[in-house]
Amino acid sequence: MCTAVGTATAQAPNGPAAAPARAASSTGSTSSPARLSDGTAVDSAAAASRVRDYWTPERMKDAIPLDVPEPATPPPSSTGTAGTPTDAPVIGAPGRTPPAAPTVTGRDGSRDQRDQRDPRVTESAVVGKVFFTDPTDGQDHVCTGSALNSPSKQLVITAGSCVHGGQGRTWMTNWVYAPQYRSGSYPFGTFAAKDFRTFIAWTDSSAPGRDVGVVTTWPQDGTRLVDATGGQGFAWDFHQNVQVMVLTYSLDRSNGEIQQWCSTTTTQGFFPSTIGIYCKLGSRAPGGPWLQQFDDPTGLGYVNGLLTAIDCSGFNQSPYFDDAVKSMVDAQGSAT
């Protein structure tokens, strides 16, 4: 039986950044080359083209949500006020790396084209849908992701569950990112995965506080992802009570065809090493970014969380972004 998590929403103490306790040895990450479902490595432009060709409009439409768990009861360490980390590195001073505006103009998704879209919809060209095949069940699935500014200009950030199935499972296949997807239209095309990275604590133990993944994508016709759409900045080690804009393709709203948004303040999460929000965005939208200082005209902000788990009261969860998440992102951020 799913239990509401009222005790998990207690406010953190005032003062410097406070983070929920997390298990020791939870900071290491692991990577893997992307593959097609037949096992072929996506190690060439030709292989990347095969992945893009796999995702016909029909397959995108039929892709099913990657449901996230509804836990039965909150762990003892998630109740009351937030604790302090029990393992190195110690939570440090809050930090940010900057977002980047697109450098390629004249594409279908350029700002002058987006201005002609429905003004009632808050959306970002820097957020899109993620499509992949899960080898565990052989089915095509869908998540949300966001382009992330990095030295490579080729990075997508999403939930760890959208790149690897977690404990007892394996890496996803046929993986592509479709920026600014809306109702079957994706004006930037799709970007195929080249390499994945996530936490060992996610692949080995499905640790909710480490449900974060980053993906290096192949350029499309010579254009890198961030050059085409722009890329979000990144924020870490902030207090767990911060203002964020959440953007996601929730299949519980508009059948996942339009970006949904929620502006709110984060609080302590249901699980150790997580933060939470009461946006009721549903359980079928992993990977949507939680953005500090979101700027609607540009669609840019600083990723400081991701939609992952949910409880039955609608309390959405994100891993807390600490030094380890920053190190994991940095480990992949220069890979081309």
- Residues 91-139: tens digit of each pLDDT: 678 999 999 999 997 554 444 444 444 544 578 999 999 999 999 999 9
Residue with tokens 């924020």: 235
Predicted pLDDT of residue 254? 79
Q: Which pTM value belongs to this model?
A: 0.85
Domain residue spans in the chain? 28-71+88-333
Task: Indicate the DSSP class of residue 307.
Answer: -
Q: Is 253 exposed, middle or buried (0-12, 13-18, 19+ CB in 10 A)?
A: middle
Predicted pLDDT of residue 253? 75
Predicted pLDDT of residue 283? 63
Q: Can you say whether residue 51 is alpha, beta or left, with left for phi > 0 and alpha for psi between -120 and 50 degrees?
A: alpha
Predicted pLDDT of residue 197? 98
CA distance 107 to 104: 8
Question: In sequence order, which ranges of the chain are alpha helices (DSSP H)?
Answer: 45-54, 57-62, 111-114, 200-205, 225-229, 323-333
Q: With contact defined as beta carbons under 8 Å apart, do 110 and 116 qualify?
A: no
Predicted pLDDT of residue 37? 97
Predicted pLDDT of residue 63? 95
| CATH superfamily to which 28-71+88-333 belongs | Trypsin-like serine proteases (2.40.10.10)
Predicted pLDDT of residue 106? 56
Predicted pLDDT of residue 121? 55
Structure tokens at 330: 């940095």
Q: With contact defined as beta carbons under 8 Å apart, do 241 and 17 qualify?
A: no
Instruction: Name residues of the chain where pLDDT drops below 70.
Output: 1-25, 67-91, 106-121, 283, 285, 311-312
In this structure, the number of other CB atoms found within 10 A of the CB of residue 93 comes to 9
